[in-house]
Amino acid sequence: MNELLETVTSSLREIIASGIKLLPALIIGLVVLFLTRYAAQLFRKIAIKVGRKTIPSRSLQLLLSKTCYVATWVVGILFASVVAFPGLRLGDIIATLGLSSVAIGFAFQDIFKNFLAGVLLLIQEPFRIGDQIVVGEFEGTVERIDIRTTKILTYTGERVLLPNSKVFTSAVQVRTAFKYRRTDLAVGVDYNTPLPKAVKTLEQLVSDVEGVLDTPKPEIDLVGFGASSIDFIVRYWTLPQQQEVRKTQTRAIIKIKKAFDEADINIPYPIRTLYFYNQEKYSDYLPEAHRSELNEPNNGNRALTR
């Protein structure tokens, strides 16, 4: 019994002695991690300043700052591990990371997939921060491309976080990719309207609408015979931002209505013709005399047009 107690006591003494020996190294390692935090923030600020002066693209500026931030943390953690555990060599750490990379990859495959997709989005720049895009059912302004998600501010003031992998693999409609954008506005006129007069009226007023660009020139197209109207498409170009498109369309509608009223051009209501008739005369089971009465002209039949 005494031998067992002596063995346990001896083991505890050795553990405590080893802990005391490692304590300075552990403290230094913690200090290194603490300094790494401030170094990472410092290098990120430096990268942001350098990127603003040398790189015109905001997306690449963001990629540079993130790369410097992550690289500083990786170097700091590796250095702190070597300092805290003197017997641990850098080669051993790399070998351990290599063996565990498969398990880590399976566990965090979605994170890595989104991270790589985010890096590719920042490098390829299919769209930039500040662009207005449509991804699936979501539409809005790109606020930021993070390591895992792309942040979009919708026109209704809501924030949508889209996984980078979804954005990278989906069809993305970039509404602000070019300097101008076309709007197609449908207009219908009465069948009694002289078409050259309607076309001339539309051509004169559309170019004068505030927000409509002179180049490319607006176009007026006749597209078909509707149920109660002859249909036009007014095509004009504006700045690509959604707010400009919406406001210009409102001005165009107001001006078209006013110009048509002044030119005595009608925008017709839908017209339907309803027929009312007595279906009993088509029955094969009615007496012949009664059927003759029903077949008299306009007996039980009338039409209403509206």
Query: For 256-280, what is each residue's pLDDT tens digit?
Result: 999 999 988 888 887 776 766 665 5
Q: How far apart are CA 49 and CA 295, in angstroms?
A: 93
What does pLDDT average to over the chain? 80
| 283 vs 155, residue with greater confidence | 155
Tell which residue, 250, 258, 262, has the closest CA to residue 210.
Answer: 250
Whole-number pLDDT of residue 287: 59
Tokens 């403290």, residue located = 27
Which domains, and CATH codes, for the chain? 7-107 (no CATH), 124-174 (2.30.30.60), 181-262 (3.30.70.100), 273-305 (no CATH)
Amino acid, single-letter form, for residue 106 = F
Give the count of beta carbons closer than 10 Å to the beta carbon of residue 24.
11
Mean pLDDT of 89-117: 64
Is the previous residue joined to 216 through a cis bond, with omega within 30 degrees of 0?
Answer: yes
Question: Model confidence at 55, in pLDDT bands (50, 70, 90)?
Answer: confident
Share of the chain above pLDDT 70, in %: 72
Whole-number pLDDT of residue 297: 53
**81-90, 197-206, 217-226, range with the lowest pLDDT:** 81-90
Whole-number pLDDT of residue 111: 76
Q: How far apart are CA 163 and CA 66, in angstroms?
A: 18
Mean pLDDT of 123-147: 89
Whole-number pLDDT of residue 237: 96
| 73 vs 82, residue with greater confidence | 73
User: Taking 70 as the threshold, does the pLDDT of residue 125 lie above it?
Assistant: yes
* Max intra-chain CA distance, the chain: 130
**16-30, 146-160, 221-235, range with the lowest pLDDT:** 16-30
Question: Model confidence at 182, in pLDDT bands (50, 70, 90)?
Answer: very high
Whole-number pLDDT of residue 217: 92
Question: Model confidence at 144, in pLDDT bands (50, 70, 90)?
Answer: confident
Question: What is each CA distance from 207 to 17, 198, 235, in whole angstroms?
Answer: 88, 15, 11
Whole-number pLDDT of residue 195: 92
